[in-house]
Structure 1
Amino acid sequence: MNKKCTFSIVTVSLNSSKLISKTIESVLQQEYPFKEYIIIDGGSTDGTADIISKYQNQLSYWCSEPDGGIYQGMNKGIQHAKNKWIIFMNAGDTFADSHVLSNIALYADDEKYDVLYGDIFTTKNEELKLKTASEPCNKQRMYFCHQAAFVKTSILKATPFNTKFKMSADLFFFKHCRLLGYHFLHVPVTVAVYDSRGISNTQRIKGLQENIRIVKELDKGWDRIRFLCKLYYVVFWIKLTKRGH
């Protein structure tokens, strides 16, 4: 087993007492030994911190204090990460199985790659559906899920998440990485189970509006025009659907 492939798993939570245990257990069940686990709680008031504290002997670092939102919490986790690769498995998310890190380690030793991303299961109404990353389509949106992405920690320390974006800072980060010339690799590993319930149309619209800002800031020429047209159309369609209900 290659000890050079070390992983930092970061969980960010806020008032997630009903979700946090399954995420923690999923991380701790990873059979791969060369890992550390960091939990950043945003000052929960529902007992989440009490649940986390029961696992404190198995954590590399954890804290519970108010912050400026999910991406500020993720940046705080980055500051404490010491291993070569980092993945964010936030409250409610789980690894697909106990072998994920072992499977990713088979690819993580290739120095020419900076971002490794796999596939996910989405769950809705208790049904699992495999969602394969669709690169190079949909680059105006996230074509892979951040719960399925492993990024070199050195890159995230140098260019952390831009907290002016409250919902789409991960899209900004990955598009920026592309522009900087970092190398991405899709790996044939199902990494995570992502619970897609509870995302309202209002949240979708806010996220898409941030995506529009990001495209305006980062994309140029025909790509910019094409992506903006698609995004404006989706926002219009969601608003129309809301009005119909």
Structure 2
Amino acid sequence: MVKVSVITVVRNAAAELERTLSNLAALDRSAAELEVIVIDGASTDGTPAVIKRYESLISYSVSEPDGGLYDAMNKGIRAATGDYLWFVNAADAVYAPDVLTRIFGPGSPLAADGPADVYYGETLVTAPDGTALGLRKKRLPRGGLTWRSLQRGMVVCHQSFIVRRAVAPLYDTRRYRLAADIDWVIECLKRASSIRDTGLVLSRFTTGGISTRRRRASLRERWTIMRRHYGLVATLFAHAGFVWEMLLDKLLRRPPYRKIY
């Protein structure tokens, strides 16, 4: 049976962590073993008490200072023993309780050709109070996801990206502090030999993270990452496309999210 390591990073977010762990506890594990890893950045609120309440669910946890979000996520990678890694941070959630069965179950079409290195899918965006806003406006690539797909930006949400641990590097915390997830996804896709679209909504992502709050600095990092992977000319064209899309959004008053299908 395949083993999936779900890594949850948290700091001073007791209520959000409670929702996430409650969601993970409800997952159907008939087709996959679940390893829940919680990395707490030395929280001073009720987070440690929540971790204590869910100790029967949690395989590994640590509460200590860290060097930021991606340093904490690296701790989760190092602690993981599963075949696959899945980052579902505090406030986020797995979309449906049967998702592991639908991906890894013996009768699943996704399992018919053997295990893939990467599984990906859609993401439902929610407000901090849990209200569903809709699917991410940025669509998954129609021809299938590759490392070159991210020239269009973060076309796949980090929370809807399940990767084989053997092909996943650590996050580059030396160079990036706000957009290291984009670099990490690109690197995972470069190393993957098989990448599979699940056709499923995989996660619920709560909007309002670090990159959202520090958007300009995050965009500068994204520029650096894209230029390193794709070159200057391709990155210039891609950013011209981003600006054009923003102008069209305003002109046509397009909604920020897509309807849930």
* TM-score scaled by length of structure 1: 0.83
8 Å contact from structure 2 (residues 12, 43) kept in 1:
yes
Instruction: Give the Å deviation of 1:139.
Output: 2.8
SS at match of 1:30: coil
Taking the aligned partners of 2:206 and 2:228, their CA distance within structure 1 comes to 30
Question: Deviations for 1:170-204, whole angstroms, at most 9, x for unmatched residues?
Answer: 11012223444643222111111111146786522
Instruction: Give the Å deviation of 1:92.
Output: 0.3
**How many residues end up aligned between the 2 structures?**
231
Specify whether residues 73 and 225 from structure 1 end up closer, same or farther in structure 2 by C-alpha distance, changes over 3 A only: same
Question: Deviations for 1:45-97, whole angstroms, at most 9, x for unmatched residues?
Answer: 11211211111122110010001111111111111111111100000001112
Answer yes or no: is 1:32 the counterpart of 2:29.
yes
Alpha-carbon RMSD across the aligned residues, in angstroms, is 2.7
* Of 137-146 and 107-116, the range deviating more from structure 2: 107-116
SS at match of 1:214: helix
In structure 1, what is the equivalent of residue 251 of structure 2?
Answer: none
1:135 aligned to which of 141, 146, 170: 141
In structure 1, what is the equivalent of residue 93 of structure 2?
Answer: 94
In structure 2, what is the equivalent of residue 14 of structure 1?
Answer: 11
SS at match of 1:31: coil
SS at match of 1:61: strand
SS at match of 1:19: helix
1:187 aligned to which of 195, 198, 220: 198
8 Å contact from structure 1 (residues 215, 227) kept in 2:
no
Instruction: Give the Å deviation of 1:218.
Output: 1.3
2:215 aligned to which of 204, 209, 224: 204
In structure 2, what is the equivalent of residue 42 of structure 1?
Answer: 41
Residue 82 of structure 2 aligns with an amino acid whose one-letter code is N
Specify whether residues 7 and 171 from structure 1 end up closer, same or farther in structure 2 by C-alpha distance, changes over 3 A only: same
In structure 1, what is the equivalent of residue 119 of structure 2?
Answer: 116
Specify whether residues 109 and 173 from structure 1 end up closer, same or farther in structure 2 by C-alpha distance, changes over 3 A only: farther
Instruction: Give the Å deviation of 1:235.
Output: 10
User: Unaligned regions of 5+ residues in structure 1, if any?
Assistant: 237-245
Specify whether residues 230 and 166 from structure 1 end up closer, same or farther in structure 2 by C-alpha distance, changes over 3 A only: farther
Instruction: Give the Å deviation of 1:6.
Output: 1.8
Instruction: Give the Å deviation of 1:111.
Output: 4.8
In structure 1, what is the equivalent of residue 146 of structure 2?
Answer: none
Taking the aligned partners of 1:155 and 1:20, their CA distance within structure 2 comes to 28
* Of 211-220 and 175-184, the range deviating more from structure 2: 175-184
In structure 2, what is the equivalent of residue 76 of structure 1?
Answer: 75
Instruction: Give the Å deviation of 1:21.
Output: 0.2
Residue 163 of structure 2 aligns with an amino acid whose one-letter code is V
* TM-score scaled by length of structure 2: 0.79
Residue 194 of structure 2 aligns with an amino acid whose one-letter code is H
* Of 204-213 and 217-226, the range deviating more from structure 2: 217-226
